[in-house]
Amino acid sequence: MAIIMSSSDNILFREEQKFNQLWLWVLVLLPASISWYAAIEQLIFKRTFGTNPASDSGIVLIWVIFGILFPIFMASLRLVTEVRRDGLFVRFYPLHRSYRSFPFDSIRSCHVQKYRPIRDYGGWGIRYGLKGTAYNVSGDRGVMLEFKDGSKLMIGSQQPEGLAAAMSCDTRVL
**Domain closes at, from 54, 76, 98:** 76
**Same-domain check for residues 92 and 154:** yes
**Domain closes at, from 11, 44, 76:** 76
Q: pLDDT tens for residues 20-43?
A: 889 889 999 999 999 999 999 999
**Same-domain check for residues 85 and 146:** yes
Domain span holding position 53: 22-76
**Same-domain check for residues 53 and 86:** no
- Quick one: which H or E segment has residue 104? none
**Same-domain check for residues 108 and 57:** no
Cβ count near 64 (within 10 Å): 13
| 3-class DSSP assignment, residue 153 | strand
Q: pLDDT tens for residues 82-126?
A: 999 999 999 999 999 999 999 999 999 999 999 999 999 999 999
Number of compact structural domains in the chain:
2
